[in-house]
Amino acid sequence: MRRVALIPGGARGIGRAVAQALAARGWDVALCYRRSEADAKIAVAAVEAAGGSALALCADVSAADACGELYDQVLAWRGQIDALIHCAGPFRRVDVLAETPEGWRSMFANNLDSLFYLARLVAPGMIERRWGRIVGFAMANADRTTAHTQLTAHYLAKVGVLGLVRSLAKALAPHRITANSISPGFIDSGSIDLAELAQMAKSIPAGNVGTVDDVVSAVLYLLSDEAGYVNGTNINVSGGWGI
Protein backbone atom coordinates (compact mmCIF):
# COMPACT_ATOMS: atom_id res chain seq x y z
CA MET A 1 0.00 0.00 0.00
CA ARG A 2 1.26 3.48 -0.89
CA ARG A 3 2.03 5.72 2.04
CA VAL A 4 0.25 9.04 2.40
CA ALA A 5 1.76 12.33 3.53
CA LEU A 6 -0.08 15.44 4.67
CA ILE A 7 1.88 18.64 4.02
CA PRO A 8 0.40 21.90 5.33
CA GLY A 9 2.15 24.66 3.44
CA GLY A 10 2.82 22.30 0.56
CA ALA A 11 1.83 24.61 -2.27
CA ARG A 12 5.24 26.19 -2.79
CA GLY A 13 8.81 26.41 -1.58
CA ILE A 14 10.09 23.67 0.68
CA GLY A 15 6.68 22.04 1.03
CA ARG A 16 6.22 21.65 -2.72
CA ALA A 17 9.74 20.26 -3.13
CA VAL A 18 9.10 17.71 -0.38
CA ALA A 19 5.81 16.69 -2.00
CA GLN A 20 7.49 16.16 -5.36
CA ALA A 21 10.34 14.15 -3.82
CA LEU A 22 7.91 11.91 -1.95
CA ALA A 23 5.89 11.30 -5.10
CA ALA A 24 9.05 10.11 -6.83
CA ARG A 25 9.45 7.61 -4.00
CA GLY A 26 5.97 6.16 -4.25
CA TRP A 27 4.02 8.35 -1.84
CA ASP A 28 0.66 10.02 -2.35
CA VAL A 29 0.49 13.58 -1.06
CA ALA A 30 -2.26 15.74 0.39
CA LEU A 31 -1.22 19.36 0.60
CA CYS A 32 -3.07 22.32 1.95
CA TYR A 33 -2.83 26.00 1.28
CA ARG A 34 -4.52 29.09 2.65
CA ARG A 35 -4.51 31.56 -0.24
CA SER A 36 -2.17 30.34 -3.00
CA GLU A 37 -4.57 28.28 -5.12
CA ALA A 38 -2.54 28.86 -8.29
CA ASP A 39 0.61 27.62 -6.53
CA ALA A 40 -1.29 24.59 -5.25
CA LYS A 41 -2.26 23.64 -8.79
CA ILE A 42 1.38 23.82 -9.81
CA ALA A 43 2.32 21.63 -6.85
CA VAL A 44 -0.31 19.04 -7.77
CA ALA A 45 1.01 18.94 -11.33
CA ALA A 46 4.56 18.48 -10.00
CA VAL A 47 3.50 15.59 -7.79
CA GLU A 48 1.65 13.90 -10.63
CA ALA A 49 4.59 14.40 -12.99
CA ALA A 50 6.78 12.65 -10.42
CA GLY A 51 4.48 9.64 -10.42
CA GLY A 52 2.35 10.33 -7.38
CA SER A 53 -1.25 11.24 -6.68
CA ALA A 54 -2.04 14.59 -5.09
CA LEU A 55 -4.93 16.29 -3.34
CA ALA A 56 -4.86 20.05 -2.76
CA LEU A 57 -7.14 21.48 -0.09
CA CYS A 58 -7.72 25.03 1.09
CA ALA A 59 -7.54 25.25 4.87
CA ASP A 60 -6.61 27.74 7.56
CA VAL A 61 -4.68 25.40 9.82
CA SER A 62 -4.41 28.05 12.53
CA ALA A 63 -7.98 27.07 13.47
CA ALA A 64 -8.67 23.75 15.21
CA ASP A 65 -11.99 23.21 13.42
CA ALA A 66 -10.38 23.74 10.01
CA CYS A 67 -7.71 21.18 10.90
CA GLY A 68 -10.45 18.70 11.76
CA GLU A 69 -12.14 19.24 8.41
CA LEU A 70 -8.82 18.91 6.61
CA TYR A 71 -8.06 15.65 8.38
CA ASP A 72 -11.49 14.23 7.49
CA GLN A 73 -11.04 15.16 3.83
CA VAL A 74 -7.67 13.44 3.60
CA LEU A 75 -9.03 10.31 5.27
CA ALA A 76 -11.95 10.28 2.84
CA TRP A 77 -9.41 10.48 0.00
CA ARG A 78 -6.89 7.81 1.06
CA GLY A 79 -8.02 6.38 4.40
CA GLN A 80 -4.88 7.15 6.38
CA ILE A 81 -2.06 9.60 7.02
CA ASP A 82 1.39 8.08 7.48
CA ALA A 83 3.42 11.27 7.74
CA LEU A 84 2.71 14.83 8.76
CA ILE A 85 5.29 17.25 7.37
CA HIS A 86 4.31 20.60 8.84
CA CYS A 87 5.68 23.22 6.45
CA ALA A 88 3.15 25.94 7.31
CA GLY A 89 5.11 28.77 8.87
CA PRO A 90 4.45 32.37 7.84
CA PHE A 91 6.62 35.11 9.27
CA ARG A 92 6.46 38.86 9.49
CA ARG A 93 9.00 41.46 10.42
CA VAL A 94 7.94 43.99 13.03
CA ASP A 95 9.71 45.52 16.00
CA VAL A 96 8.73 43.73 19.20
CA LEU A 97 7.49 46.99 20.75
CA ALA A 98 5.36 47.72 17.69
CA GLU A 99 3.82 44.24 17.49
CA THR A 100 0.05 44.03 17.86
CA PRO A 101 -1.91 41.43 19.85
CA GLU A 102 -3.39 40.20 16.57
CA GLY A 103 0.00 39.90 14.88
CA TRP A 104 1.48 38.18 17.91
CA ARG A 105 -1.33 35.67 18.13
CA SER A 106 -1.28 34.93 14.40
CA MET A 107 2.39 33.91 14.50
CA PHE A 108 1.76 31.38 17.26
CA ALA A 109 -1.51 30.15 15.74
CA ASN A 110 0.01 29.49 12.32
CA ASN A 111 3.43 28.18 13.33
CA LEU A 112 2.81 26.31 16.58
CA ASP A 113 -0.88 25.78 17.27
CA SER A 114 -1.45 24.27 13.83
CA LEU A 115 1.23 21.65 14.44
CA PHE A 116 -0.42 20.68 17.72
CA TYR A 117 -3.91 20.51 16.18
CA LEU A 118 -2.80 18.29 13.31
CA ALA A 119 -0.45 16.07 15.33
CA ARG A 120 -3.18 15.16 17.78
CA LEU A 121 -5.43 14.23 14.85
CA VAL A 122 -2.97 12.03 12.95
CA ALA A 123 -1.47 10.32 16.01
CA PRO A 124 -4.29 7.81 16.75
CA GLY A 125 -4.15 6.28 13.26
CA MET A 126 -0.38 6.07 13.43
CA ILE A 127 -0.63 4.39 16.82
CA GLU A 128 -3.07 1.85 15.42
CA ARG A 129 -0.76 1.04 12.50
CA ARG A 130 2.37 1.24 14.68
CA TRP A 131 4.17 3.42 12.18
CA GLY A 132 4.25 7.14 11.58
CA ARG A 133 6.40 10.18 11.06
CA ILE A 134 5.88 13.75 12.24
CA VAL A 135 8.25 16.48 11.06
CA GLY A 136 7.99 20.04 12.33
CA PHE A 137 9.91 23.07 11.16
CA ALA A 138 11.68 25.41 13.55
CA MET A 139 14.49 27.75 12.51
CA ALA A 140 18.25 27.81 12.93
CA ASN A 141 19.23 28.96 16.44
CA ALA A 142 15.75 28.32 17.88
CA ASP A 143 17.41 25.91 20.29
CA ARG A 144 19.55 28.75 21.66
CA THR A 145 16.65 31.06 22.65
CA THR A 146 18.36 34.23 21.50
CA ALA A 147 16.95 37.72 20.95
CA HIS A 148 15.21 38.49 17.65
CA THR A 149 13.73 41.95 18.01
CA GLN A 150 12.23 42.03 14.48
CA LEU A 151 10.88 38.46 14.44
CA THR A 152 10.03 37.91 18.10
CA ALA A 153 6.65 36.21 17.80
CA HIS A 154 7.69 34.03 14.87
CA TYR A 155 10.94 33.06 16.56
CA LEU A 156 9.32 32.17 19.88
CA ALA A 157 6.70 30.10 18.07
CA LYS A 158 9.56 28.16 16.47
CA VAL A 159 11.15 27.66 19.89
CA GLY A 160 7.78 26.21 20.89
CA VAL A 161 7.89 23.85 17.92
CA LEU A 162 11.06 22.30 19.34
CA GLY A 163 9.41 21.70 22.69
CA LEU A 164 6.23 20.32 21.17
CA VAL A 165 8.13 17.96 18.88
CA ARG A 166 10.10 16.57 21.80
CA SER A 167 6.93 16.00 23.81
CA LEU A 168 5.32 14.24 20.86
CA ALA A 169 8.44 12.12 20.37
CA LYS A 170 8.41 10.93 23.97
CA ALA A 171 4.69 10.21 23.97
CA LEU A 172 4.69 8.37 20.63
CA ALA A 173 7.99 6.49 20.76
CA PRO A 174 6.43 3.37 22.39
CA HIS A 175 4.21 3.08 19.30
CA ARG A 176 7.12 3.12 16.82
CA ILE A 177 6.30 6.67 15.73
CA THR A 178 8.92 9.38 15.45
CA ALA A 179 8.59 13.15 15.78
CA ASN A 180 11.52 15.34 14.81
CA SER A 181 12.19 18.89 13.72
CA ILE A 182 14.25 20.57 11.04
CA SER A 183 15.70 24.05 11.57
CA PRO A 184 16.54 25.71 8.27
CA GLY A 185 18.82 28.71 8.07
CA PHE A 186 18.74 30.94 5.01
CA ILE A 187 17.21 28.87 2.21
CA ASP A 188 16.48 30.04 -1.33
CA SER A 189 12.87 28.90 -1.23
CA GLY A 190 11.33 31.92 -2.91
CA SER A 191 10.11 33.60 0.29
CA ILE A 192 13.08 35.94 0.80
CA ASP A 193 14.45 38.53 -1.61
CA LEU A 194 17.51 37.25 -3.50
CA ALA A 195 19.50 40.41 -2.74
CA GLU A 196 18.88 39.89 0.97
CA LEU A 197 19.95 36.25 0.70
CA ALA A 198 23.15 37.28 -1.06
CA GLN A 199 23.89 39.71 1.74
CA MET A 200 23.20 37.11 4.41
CA ALA A 201 25.54 34.63 2.71
CA LYS A 202 28.43 36.70 4.03
CA SER A 203 27.54 35.65 7.59
CA ILE A 204 27.07 31.94 6.81
CA PRO A 205 30.12 29.81 7.61
CA ALA A 206 29.52 27.68 4.50
CA GLY A 207 29.65 30.84 2.39
CA ASN A 208 26.34 30.31 0.59
CA VAL A 209 22.63 30.09 1.22
CA GLY A 210 20.95 26.70 1.13
CA THR A 211 18.62 25.22 -1.46
CA VAL A 212 15.30 23.52 -1.00
CA ASP A 213 17.02 20.25 -1.93
CA ASP A 214 19.19 20.59 1.18
CA VAL A 215 16.06 20.62 3.32
CA VAL A 216 14.30 17.91 1.31
CA SER A 217 17.21 15.56 1.95
CA ALA A 218 16.79 16.01 5.70
CA VAL A 219 13.05 15.38 5.48
CA LEU A 220 13.51 12.22 3.42
CA TYR A 221 15.98 10.88 5.95
CA LEU A 222 13.62 11.48 8.88
CA LEU A 223 10.80 9.73 7.01
CA SER A 224 12.93 6.72 6.16
CA ASP A 225 13.03 3.38 7.92
CA GLU A 226 16.74 4.02 8.49
CA ALA A 227 15.74 6.87 10.82
CA GLY A 228 13.34 4.74 12.84
CA TYR A 229 15.46 5.18 16.00
CA VAL A 230 15.92 8.93 15.50
CA ASN A 231 13.31 10.55 17.69
CA GLY A 232 12.94 13.95 19.30
CA THR A 233 15.93 15.43 17.51
CA ASN A 234 16.44 18.70 15.67
CA ILE A 235 18.45 18.90 12.46
CA ASN A 236 19.99 22.26 11.60
CA VAL A 237 20.14 22.84 7.86
CA SER A 238 21.96 26.14 7.91
CA GLY A 239 25.51 25.79 6.59
CA GLY A 240 26.72 26.43 10.12
CA TRP A 241 24.72 29.63 10.65
CA GLY A 242 23.10 30.02 14.04
CA ILE A 243 25.08 27.38 15.90
Please tell me the pTM assigned to this model.
Answer: 0.96
Contact (Cβ atoms closer than 8 angstroms) between residue 3 and residue 26: yes
Look at residue 46 in the predicted model and tell me its pLDDT: 95
Look at residue 146 in the predicted model and tell me its pLDDT: 93
Look at residue 189 in the predicted model and tell me its pLDDT: 85
User: 147-174: per-residue pLDDT in tens?
Assistant: 999 999 999 999 999 999 999 999 999 9
CB atoms closer than 10 angstroms to residue 130 = 10
Which one-letter amino acid corresponds to residue 49?
A: A
Q: Is the pLDDT of residue 191 over 80?
A: no
Beta carbons within 8 Å of 67's beta carbon, 6+ residues apart? 59, 61, 114, 117, 118, 121
Determine the Cα–Cα distance for residues 203 and 207; give it in Å rounded to an integer: 7
Task: State the pLDDT confidence band at 196, using cuts at 50, 70 and 90.
Answer: confident
Which class in CATH covers the domain with range 4-237? alpha beta
Look at residue 199 in the predicted model and tell me its pLDDT: 83
